[in-house]
Amino acid sequence: MESLTLLNTLIGFDTTSRLSNLQLISFVRTYLAGYGIDSCIVENEDGSKANLYATIGPTDRPGVMLAGHTDVVPVDGQTWHSDPFQLDIRDKRAYGRGSADMKGFLASVLALVPRLAQSQLHTPVHLAFTYDEEIGCIGVRRLLEVLGGLPVLPAMGIIGEPTQMKLVAAHKGKTAWRVTARGHEGHSSNPTAGVNAVEYAAELVSYIRSLARQRRQHGPFDPLYEVPYSTLHVGTMQGGTALNIIPAHCQFDFEIRHLPEDPPQSLLDAIRNHALQVLQPEMQAVDPACGFDFSEKTSYPGLLTPPDAHVVRFVQGLLGDHTPPRKIAFGTEGGLFAERCGIPTVVCGPGDIAQAHQPDEWLALEQLAACDAFLSRLAAQLVNC
């Protein structure tokens, strides 16, 4: 099938987030131009990466946006049984980095382009391909600045993240922060003469863990999520230089993955207040230069599209499945499209998130075929509506 041929091409571009995605974007732009479709390219600040936005069909009315990211996570340290950047078909699976997350969806969308270009679409299809989603939904923000200035915005959006072609209308948001503890160095034989940055950072980590425990025990809860409460997690920590030196520096990163109905600000305020009002005065009693610094790394909102929204009913009809939409713990760009541009958005795409970011990442061929069929029904619908 054509989508498999295109998937082979897309996987061949190593678009790991630390690298450029321009070769892939150039391929897509040339591919679309071959069918008479213009593309808007929105680059990052240094021009090393780009988003692509294109409209197929009438440009003076809202339409359906099909959106996905072009970047993938690294393969460093993973053991693969085939070249991660060369499609390998075996056991009715397509193996390769990004096959599930989420070049399979992009390939299926591109495979539909010839039909869309030849159809007399009453309602347009908008394509939004972004960069740096994997490191905090960064690239899409520059695209949203451009979309916000357009006279006509999409009426709805479908983000093709891997959901096994099940409809998702809500997901958690995320905010990630870096905390730096500034201590006072000294000889470890006299701990009171210094300020141990590692120990004070550890006290704050313990406090963050207590907040996580409170959410786990007392909520708020939403049973439709696999983890039905907001979570807090400390992922990395570095500090100290030698065992016999009181450490003057410690740094750790933490994240909050929150229910859309449970904004993280109260948790962030509690963490900052504990650091600055409880721990920092003790540190500054020894050395006024000691204390804590906070810096935000990434943040994106949750998605909470009402189950009776038009986009939900529309996609349910295309799927032939009117069961209530699901909710997922992992984040997407959907919340930003909804929050920044007011585009009602859902998530639905081929593959299983359990395969994402893994060695030997794979996409079941039947999932790719199901996405092709779904998009084919979309094309038929847009000729008439």
- The alpha-carbon radius of gyration of the chain (Å, integer) is 24
Task: Name residue 72's beta-bridge partners.
Answer: 16
Nearest by Cα to 293 from 202, 204, 179, 196: 179
Which of 71, 101, 255, 372 is catalytic? The answer is 71
Distance CA 129, CA 127 (A): 6
Dihedral sign (CA 217, 210, 174, 267): positive
Spell out the long-range contacts of 236-242 with Cβ–Cβ below 8 A and sequence spacing 24 or more: 237/201, 237/205, 239/181, 239/197, 239/198, 239/201, 240/197, 240/198
Distance CA 56, CA 49 (A): 23
Q: Which residue has the tokens 């056991």?
A: 91
CA angle, 67 then 72 then 75, to 5° = 165
Which of 88, 101, 132, 133 is catalytic? The answer is 133
Token pair listed for 200: 């004070």
Active site residue 71: yes
Distance CA 204, CA 283 (A): 13
Task: Name residue 257's beta-bridge partners.
Answer: 174, 231
**In this structure, what is the dihedral angle of CA atoms 146, 157, 381, 62, given to the nearest 10 degrees?**
-40
Phi, psi of 254 (to 5 degrees): -135, 160
Angle at which helices 104-118 and 365-384 pack, to 10 degrees? 30
**Whether the Cβ atoms of residue 325 and residue 337 lie closer than 8 Å to each other:** no
C-alpha distances out from residue 138 to 44, 191, 254, 332, 333, Å: 10, 43, 18, 11, 9
Q: Which residues contact 366 (CB under 8 A, 6 or more apart)?
A: 92
Token pair listed for 197: 């940055």
Active site residue 366: no
Dihedral sign (CA 50, 109, 344, 151): positive
Query: Active-site positions?
Result: 71, 133
